[in-house]
Amino acid sequence: MAQKKMILDLDTGIDDAMAIAYAVADPDVDLIGIIGSYGNVYVEDGVQNSLKILELLGATDVPVYQGLSHSSESDHFDRMPVSAQIHGENGIGDVQLPDPKRQPETGDAIDFFIDAVKQYGKDLILVPTGPLTNLDAAINKAPEITKEIGNITIMGGAVTVPGNVTNVAEANIQQDATAADHVFRKAPLTQVGLDVTLRTLLTYKETQQWRDLHTKSGEAFADIVDYYIKAYEVTSPDLHGCALHDPFAVGVAINPDFVQTIDLNMYVTTDETYYGRTTGDPARLDDPNTNVKVAVNADVPAYLDAFMTHLTNLFSKH
Backbone angles phi, psi at 66, to 5 degrees: -90, 120
Contact 59, 31 (CB under 8 A): yes
Determine how β-strand 201-202 pairs with β-strand 242-243.
Answer: antiparallel
If DSSP codes are grouped into helix, strand and coil, which group holds residue 263? strand
Greatest CA separation for the chain: 56
Of 14, 58, 15, 62, whose CA–CA distance to 34 is shortest? 62
Active-site choice (9, 11, 226, 246) = 11
Catalytic: 245? yes
Catalytic: 16? no
C-alpha to C-alpha distance for 74 and 77, rounded to whole angstroms? 8
Residues near 230 by beta carbon (within 8 Å), at least 6 away in sequence: none
Active-site choice (70, 182, 245, 310) = 245
Which amino acid is located at 81 in the chain?
P
C-alpha to C-alpha distance for 89 and 41, rounded to whole angstroms? 8
The DSSP code sequence of 198-235 is: TT-EE-HHHHHHHHTT--HHHHHHHHHHHHHHHHHHHH
C-alpha to C-alpha distance for 147 and 177, rounded to whole angstroms? 22
Q: Where in the sequence numbering do the catalytic residues fall? A: 11, 245
